[in-house]
Amino acid sequence: MITYNQYQGTMNDPLNPIRQLIRQAQEQDSVSGKLLEFVECRKGHLHNAIKLPADKATKKLADFVVRYIKHVPDFIDAIRTMAQEAGIYEDVQPLLKIASDYFLSPPSIVDSHSQLQALLDEAYLAHRLLEEVNDRFMAKSGIPLAPMDMTLANVIAHELIGEPFANELDQAVLFSAELLLDEQGFSGEQIEDYVITHRVNGWTRELERWPCLVEDLSISVEFDLDNNDDETATRH
């Protein structure tokens, strides 16, 4: 049974408007079918390293887009909770706010096309920002800020969005990351304790609580090595 306080916390959750936007976009698309049209159009332009399922490729690619979008509030929620429990929320909150604002107050660079397609752009901005900060935090401390790796999913999203626009989104992310890291050094005693704790204990507890951080996105990316038949296949 949900208590009154739990209910109030849910109602006041700043992620609820994002989740509502996603639900509304899905409802709109169930009528318009614009997402299937979009991925069908883009499917033939993807890099040949992206391997789609042989069966119902367009539907599976559309499912990937929806799951990719829905991962954003899940990731923000998980990182927020981890940061609160570790006492580093004030350090992490500006990052989470920017990621949330990509949905709630999208930059003018995001096109005003069909709703789910626009949310794909916004999700790409958020995922790429989290990836960029994670990478820089790892370079500095030896561990990621959070145990997620959306690199290959971001590659697929980049291909779906298409160049040159996806490159413009990347530049917007790099600009945001530079500003954020200039203002937030991710340093201090509590950050150091956070790093030491996860160097010693790893991320098992977090991944058990938030399996979405490593959820399989079911699209294969295979990179040809040295122009021969050896391939590395990675699944997200």
pLDDT 10s digits, 138-164: 998 999 999 988 888 999 999 999 999
Q: Higher pLDDT residue, 235 or 109?
A: 109
Cis, peptide link before residue 107, omega less than 30° from 0: no
pLDDT at site 47: 86
pLDDT at site 217: 58
pLDDT at 63 over 80: yes
pLDDT at 2 over 80: no
State what percent of residues in the chain have pLDDT above 90: 60
* Average of per-residue pLDDT across 123-145: 93
Q: Higher pLDDT residue, 120 or 184?
A: 120
pLDDT at site 1: 35
- Ordered by start, the domain boundaries in the chain are 16-235
Contact 150, 127 (CB under 8 A): yes
Residue 50, H or E segment: strand 50-51
Rounded CA separation 53/36 (Å)? 15
Contact 15, 76 (CB under 8 A): yes
pLDDT at site 219: 64
| Residue 233 banded pLDDT, cuts 50, 70, 90 | very low
* Average of per-residue pLDDT across 33-45: 92
Average model confidence (pLDDT) for the chain?
84
3-state helix, strand, coil in the chain (%, to 5): 70, 5, 25
pLDDT at site 4: 30
Residues 6+ apart with CB under 8 A from 158: 124, 166, 170
Rounded CA separation 219/158 (Å)? 14
Q: Cα–Cα–Cα angle for 75, 77, 83, nearest 5°?
A: 100
pLDDT at 231 over 70: no
* Average of per-residue pLDDT across 195-221: 81
Q: Higher pLDDT residue, 92 or 227?
A: 92
pTM: 0.86
pLDDT digits (tens, 9 = 90+) for 158-195: 999 999 999 999 999 999 999 888 888 788 899 999 99
State what percent of residues in the chain have pLDDT above 70: 84
Q: Report helix, strand or coil for 234.
A: strand
